[in-house]
Amino acid sequence: MQAVADRGVSPEEIARFDALAGKWWDPDGPMKPLHRMNPARVGWIDSRIPPASRVLDVGCGAGLLAEALARRGHDVLGIDAAGEAIAAARAHAEGRGLKLAYREGVAGDLLAEGQRFPVVTALEVIEHVPDPAAFLHTLAGLLEPGGTLFLSTLNRTKRSFLVAKFGAEYVMRWLPVGTHDWRKFVTPAELGALARDAGLGVADITGLEFDPLGWRWRTGRDLSTNYLLQARAV
């Protein structure tokens, strides 16, 4: 596992998400928040990229985003350092006839091979990596000229601590305790600066808001907890 740490991924984070692999696709399991959030974030991304785009999904886990984008006609490669999660992703996609492939590894592996993509996604990943600046530079390096990067993360606010950390992990039990470290949450200003330092231009940003009446997530102006950011190679 030390080799993984040297490539910019925390062994503890890998072990945590590998342990969830068998329950990843259970809509009422530990990934319930992502299942609820997925339609809103997939719709936002899909509306901003050309049809049948080639997409790299970094930190894909067991494939919630990757498979949803493939169902919308995109050609998707998902990559994750958590081998058990990748195995779960492959098993779930088997026989569905989608343009979808998975690879165990890290984004730096693809960068070293000289691979480039018109669209790169990394949702709910940056708050788990040891060096967010280096991670953004790697993602920027994986974009084709004019390519588009989509990121999502959690804002570091009092509300996000109460809702996404204390509420989700300790009160509602939506997530296993220890899933998030609030100190690693990234503000929109910080993420925008990291993107610009990596040579990217911020194109759009939206909040992800929970609607308790409809028991679903929707995009909107509230960036205080979860949000999505779109950046372009310039």
Known binding-site positions for S-adenosyl-L-methionine: 41, 59, 80, 123
Extract the runs of DSSP E, i.e. beta strands, from 72-142.
75-80, 100-104, 117-123
- Which tokens belong to 18? 């590998």
8 Å CB contact between 169 and 175? yes
Q: How much is the CA Rg of the chain, to the nearest whole Å?
A: 16
Q: How many CA atoms lie within 13 A of 72 on its CB side?
A: 20
Distance of CA 158 to the CA centre of its chain: 22
The enclosing H or E element of 19 equals helix 11-19
**Binding-site positions:** 41, 59, 80, 123
Percent of residues in the chain assigned helix, strand, coil, to nearest 5: 40, 25, 35
Nearest partner of 57 among 43, 78, 72, 40, judged by Cα? 78
Distance of CA 60 to the CA centre of its chain: 7
Phi, psi of 209 (to 5 degrees): -115, 140
- Which tokens belong to 185? 């949450």
| 103: β partners | 79
